[in-house]
Structure 1
Amino acid sequence: MSKQQLADIDAMLRRFRPTGPRSVAELRTGFKALMDTMTVPENVHTAPVILGDRPALHVTPADAPRRGTILYFHGGGFVFGSPETALSLTAQLVSKTGFEAYSVDYRLAPEHPFPAGLEDNLSAYRALLDQGVSPSSLGFAGDSAGGGYTVTTALAARDADLPLPAAIVAFSPGLDATRTGESMTAKEDADPIFTRDAVMSTGAMYLAGQDPNRPLLSPAVHADLTGFPPLLLQVGANEILLDDSTRLAARARDAGVDVILDVTADAPHVFQAFAGGALDEADHALDRAALFLTQHLRAG
């Protein structure tokens, strides 16, 4: 374990931690500044496309791709972020698997609260199916809020009688809009970037007064995961969203779903973004995620 790397990243993230209320514009600017510091591998190509009725970023390996498609949902608390801010993660998965990826520029709160972003992600998935992409060769992946969307988009797809993807990978997913996990308070001092008040604030923008006690908002608490594809949940031990993953893993287990709960000690929220030399644990975690996807996505 790279104790010094983790300590350096913890100290750096605490400089971005909010000390008081921030406007939506400040949240978006600050998040972009942070994510612009992440390493993007050079052996990928990117191109803007339209998927469903939303812009998306198509990320492909520089070398001949393998047959397989990743539909990626970026993080940002449902309020900020874009395919570009998540490019380090999307590109790392593409580089490590050889698959193509599409990263959706879904609508954001508070301008577009729930269910707007979810509808965009489901529309993107439907568009790929309509293009002839086989669900057996397609996986969902995402981080933070986008990690939550990997699960809720699959729930929405099942409700719409669409076939489910072959696998789901979620990095530090947000899976509980009720914010009732014990880690929300127990891990607040350990978490270098999030506070309970901060996630409650962005969560309220996404909810816009709606009841969070619904499977599509709090799957860790309310979802029936029966029939779900294999799940990989990767989370850091030093984050307030830890119990979002632990509780969803328990629900998946109880529903007879293949699930891997992968907790990295002393790591912060979406630590995988620090791959490419800044954090050894990030590269190792993405290696495990890439292996999981290559094991479950079938060419066809």
Structure 2
Amino acid sequence: MPSKQSAAVRRRWEASRLAMVQPGFDAPDDESWGDLTAEPRAVDYLESEAGGLPAMWAVPKRASTDRVLMCIHGGGFQGGSIYTHRKMFGHLAKAAGTRALLVSYRLLPEGVFPAPEDDVTNAYRWLLDQGISADRIAFAGDSVGGWLAVTVQLRARELGLPLPAAALLMSPCVDMETTGRSYETNRDSDPFFKRDVVRGIIRGFLGEDTDARDPRANPLYADLSGLGPLYIQAGGDETLADDARLLYEHAAKAGVDARLDIVPDMLHTFQMAAGRAPEADDAIRELAGWVRPRLGL
């Protein structure tokens, strides 16, 4: 039985759907997305730049200074920011006992494929140039930020950059063909992410010239061998649940150390309710507990 607090995530996705189908209904504004998350105590924020774009450090009290979570926000390549997600990633950094660097990337219409990947790769290179060893960096991303947390590793490997120690993926959107059965099995339980909606988002991002099976764009067709450990979480009620399952299976076949948790009754990026919903808090604790030893903490 889902908690009453987790219902706020469902209400937000329901409102987003109504704004698409009901004339005159105002969609939730982007900045209010962060209202789902409670303010984590004892975390400081410092605005910066990484790779030439805005970034933000989330620094918990008494956190390790030589380990970093590089955090990549979701938002369908159209929204989200270091500001909407700062509190959620602040909770994760606090639970892990390390700093987090929240990075930016270009959004649509400017940020068509592969611009976001270029931007986050530049941010990763910048972080390495600060003297932080790759084996003391973990990527973290939700939704399309989870996609970036995988594809940027593939780009880094191509460029000869060292790979991060691990990656934390929350409701990753990686199936660019939208083939998952969960689009049908969870059609009634997910109020927003219908197959046609996700296809429209992907089409707008990839454009006409990029095939949805291109390994550069679709991790399910990429060679994932050599990547560090992956921890993938998704909600049991979301239509993108099979994105998580398919990625887990593909990674495991490539020899990647992977873990998958599908949390019953939860929706897409339910971790945004951190500090309010027990399911989100439990998920954050699990992510943090898993990544700590992989960062040597």
TM-score (norm: length of structure 1): 0.91
C-alpha displacement at 1:9, in angstroms? 4.3
Q: Which residue of 2 aligns with 1:116?
A: 115
Distance in 2, matches of 1:199 and 1:21, equals 15
Cα deviation, 1:162-205, whole Å, max 9, x if unaligned, reads: 11100000000011221121212322211133222222222222
> CA 1:270/1:226 → structure 2, altered by over 3 Å: closer, same or farther?
same
Give the Å deviation of 1:263. 0.7
Say if 1:2 and 1:280, in contact at 8 Å, map to a contact too: no
Letter in 2 for 1:17: R
Corresponding residue of 1:283: 281
Q: Could you say which residue in structure 2 is the equivalent of 1:215?
A: 215
- Structure 2 gap segments, 5+ residues each: none
- Do 1:40 and 1:87's aligned partners in 2 also have CA atoms closer than 8 Å? no
In structure 2, the residue matched to 1:78 is: 77
Deviation by residue 1:219-265 (Cα, 9 ceiling, x = unmatched): 1x302110110100000011111111101101111111110001100
TM-score (norm 2): 0.92
The aligned counterpart of 1:63 is 62
Q: Distance in 2 between matches of 1:181 and 1:64?
A: 39
The count of corresponding residues between Structure 1 and Structure 2 is 293
Counterparts of 1:30-179 in structure 2, within 5 Å, are 30-179=29-178
Given residue 82 of structure 1, which amino acid in structure 2 is its aligned partner? S
Q: Is contact 1:67–1:298 with CA below 8 Å preserved after alignment?
A: no
SS at match of 1:17: helix
Could you tell me how far apart the structure 1 residues matched to 2:191 and 2:34 are?
Answer: 15
Partner SS for 2:252? helix
Cα gap change, 1:166 to 1:64, in 2 (>3 Å)? closer
Residue pair 1:239, 1:269 contacting (<8 A) in 2 also: yes
In 2, Cα distance between equivalents of 1:218 and 1:12: 28
Contact 1:79–1:205 (CA<8 Å) still a contact in 2?
Answer: no
Contact 1:152/1:216 (<8 A) preserved: yes
Alpha-carbon RMSD: 2.0
Q: How does 1:186-201 map to 2 (within 5 A)?
A: 186-201=185-200
Question: Larger deviation: 83-92 or 65-74?
Answer: 65-74
Map Cα deviations across residues 120-162 of structure 1 (whole Å, 9 max, x no partner).
0001111111121101110000101101111111111111111
Structure 1: runs of 5 or more not aligned: none
Equivalent residue letter for 2:134: P
| Kept in 2: contact 1:176–1:217 (CA 8 A) | no
Q: Distance in 1 between matches of 2:46 and 2:21?
A: 36
- What's the CA shift string for 1:69-125, capped at 9, x where partnerless? 011100000111111111122101111112111111110122220111100000111
- The percentage of aligned residue pairs carrying the same residue is 37
For the 8 Å contact 1:122–1:156, the answer to whether it is kept is yes
Q: Is the 8 A contact 1:170 1:232 kept in 2?
A: yes
